Every structure is written in structure tokens, then in C-alpha cells.
Amino acid sequence: MSDTREQGFVIVVGLGPGDKNLITPEASAALAAATDLVGYATYVARVPERPGPTRHISDNREEIDRARHALTLAASGRRVVVVSSGDPGVFAMAAAVFEAIDEGDPAWRALDIRVLPGISAMLSAAARVGAPLGHDFCAINLSDNLKPWGLVEKRLALAAEADFVITLYNPVSKARPWQLGRAFEILRTVRAPETPVIFATAVSDARERIDTVPLGKAVAERADMRTLVIVGSSRTRTIAREGKPPFVYTPRKTPAEPSP
């Protein structure tokens, strides 16, 4: 009995942005060893089918319950892989698993728990256009499901003032139609209208669409739930190309401010 218990684990893996070639070999090996897969239906569906593992699918909003379920299964000796898109530590399931451990059954702390990194949306989106994250940047989740909207506005304003390149995860959803428009309004008060804005939708899927537009012309309706938005810093440049989308990059050097 105790032998079986010792074999249980929870491995939290990131499946990358969509293309199966962007799943790491390490994550694939974990998936191959699983007796149970836990995750949001859309992500579990992305795991290549093989006979064997039980698929526990759930609604996107039930993250903490899903994490507790995974831990309960592992405590009974199951080999559980929890799946997220992108990287599991970026606005995803890994933090939910640790919240559940922090607040839950003390015995869960002794379990074999591991997190395997994945390619996050901002990294795959950035690579498509060039190197917009070549200098200091930050990531902000525009969803106000788990934090007050006032805090999002404060972070946007301060990140803009600090001249970070800003990546925006979860820019819109059916329940949150106006937040991205408001974010652009805030950024326009600080950033120049020609600042490049990248809308990267469904990166690495058949539906992939990438557009780079100036901030002055960025329209929130361009984004959907599978869009990652990158707003350049004052240093971000575009390189125009004949008949091809521009490259976008942020130079690695920022010159010293002129002394007053």
C-alpha cells in the first residue's frame, strides 16, 4: 500500500501555445507516464490520445477545485499530470496547485510535486515578429476576475511610465469586453501614437493571425480570448519590408537620459 502511495505524483506541465512541436520532450515524457490527466477541457483535448490515462476535464473557472482533485488523486498513488497552455507558471495552473497545498491537507506537502516549463504565449508571439522583448518588459493579466480593476489600471500606468514593453494576457473575454480599450486609453496618455502594438492571435495554430499597428490606431475589437497583445516601449522599432510584415524589435541598449 505504502509503495503505491510513493509512486503518486503531480506534475504540472505547459503545452506551449498550440503546435505540438512546441511541447517540450520533458513534458511529453510526463504525459506518457500519466495515469490521470487533469485540466480545462480545451487543454486536455490537446494532449495526443493514447489508451490508458483517465481524463478529468473541468470548466476553466474551477482551477482551485481542479488542483485539489489532482492532489487527492496523487495522494492515493495516481500519477497525475495537470495541463496548462503555454507555461504552467504564467497565469495558469501551477500557482493554483501551490495555493491548494498551502491551504490544504498537510500530507500534500510530502507528495512528489513538479512543475515543467513551457513556451509561454508572450515568447511565441514575440518570436513571430522579431524581438520585441529584447529589453526590459513586463506581463500584465487584464482579467479582473481575481484582482480589482483599479490595480490593473495602476500597474498599466506605472509600467508605461517606467517604459517597459508591456505584454497583455487575457485581453478580452465575453464577460470582459471593455478592459482592453480602457488599457489602450491609459497607455496612450504616456506612449507616443506611433508606438508599435502587436496583436498575436492563436500563435502556432491554423488560425494564427499577427498584426502590428501603431498605438494610435490600435482597436480593442481586434483581440479575442486567444490573443496576446504586446505594446512597445518608447525604444521599440519596426523594420518595414516590401510585401512582408515588418520586423519589430526593442534594442538592448537604452542611452542615459540627457542631464537637465
Contact residues for ligand SAH, defined by CB under 6 A: 17-18, 84-87, 90-92, 120-121, 125, 169-171, 200-204, 225-228
Query: What is the closest distance, in whole angstroms, from the C-beta atom of residue 57 to ligand SAH in the complex?
Result: 17
Query: What is the closest distance, in whole angstroms, from the C-beta atom of residue 228 to ligand SAH in the complex?
Result: 4
Report whether 208 contacts 202 (CB < 8 A): yes
Q: Which position has the grid cell 480570448?
A: 225
Which of 86/132 has CB closer to ligand SAH? 86
Which of 36/63 has CB closer to ligand SAH? 63
DSSP string across 13-45: EE-BSS-GGGS-HHHHHHHHH-SEEEEEHHHHT
Which of 5/182 has CB closer to ligand SAH? 182
Query: What is the closest distance, in whole angstroms, from the C-beta atom of residue 4 to ligand SAH in the complex?
Result: 32
Question: Which residue sits closest to ligand SAH, CB atoms considered?
Answer: 86
Which of 84/238 has CB closer to ligand SAH? 84
- DSSP SS3 for 170: coil
Residues forming beta bridges with residue 134, ordered by sequence position: none
Report whether 136 contacts 252 (CB < 8 A): no
Query: What is the closest distance, in whole angstroms, from the C-beta atom of residue 247 to ligand SAH in the complex?
Result: 19
Number of H helices, E strands in the chain: 8, 13
